[in-house]
Amino acid sequence: MFTEEAFLVTKDWTNVTRTIHTPEGNLLISGTTSPQTLSMLNMDLQLKSFRPAKRQKAALMEISELTDGKVVTAQLNGDLVGYITFHPPDEFERWSQGPKKVLELGAIEVSPVVRKYGIARNMLEVAFEDPVMEDYIVLATEYYWHWDLEGTGMHIWEYREMMRRLMEHVHLVVKDTDDEEISSHPANMLMVRYGKNVSTPTIRAFEQLLFSE
Q: What is the pLDDT of residues 129-162, one digit of tens each?
A: 999 999 999 999 999 998 888 888 999 999 999 9
CA–CA dist 191, 174 (Å, integer): 4
Tell me if residue 161 falls in helix, strand or coil. helix
Residues shown for the chain:
213
Distances (CA, A) of 3 to 67, 78, 84, 164: 24, 10, 19, 32
Q: Which CATH number goes with the domain that contains 58?
A: 3.40.630.30
Residue 212 maps to a domain: no
- 56 within 8 A of 48, measured Cβ to Cβ: yes
Q: What is the pLDDT of residues 41-87, one digit of tens each?
A: 999 999 988 889 999 999 999 999 998 999 999 999 999 999 999 99
Tell me if residue 207 falls in helix, strand or coil. helix
Residue 213 maps to a domain: no
- What pLDDT is stored for residue 49 in this prediction? 84
The number of domains in the chain is: 1
Residue 4 has pLDDT above 60, yes or no: no
- What pLDDT is stored for residue 2 in this prediction? 34
Residue 10 has pLDDT above 80, yes or no: no
The whole domain housing 147 covers 4-207
CA–CA dist 44, 80 (Å, integer): 6
Q: What is the pLDDT of residues 158-195, one digit of tens each?
A: 999 999 999 999 999 999 999 999 999 999 999 999 99
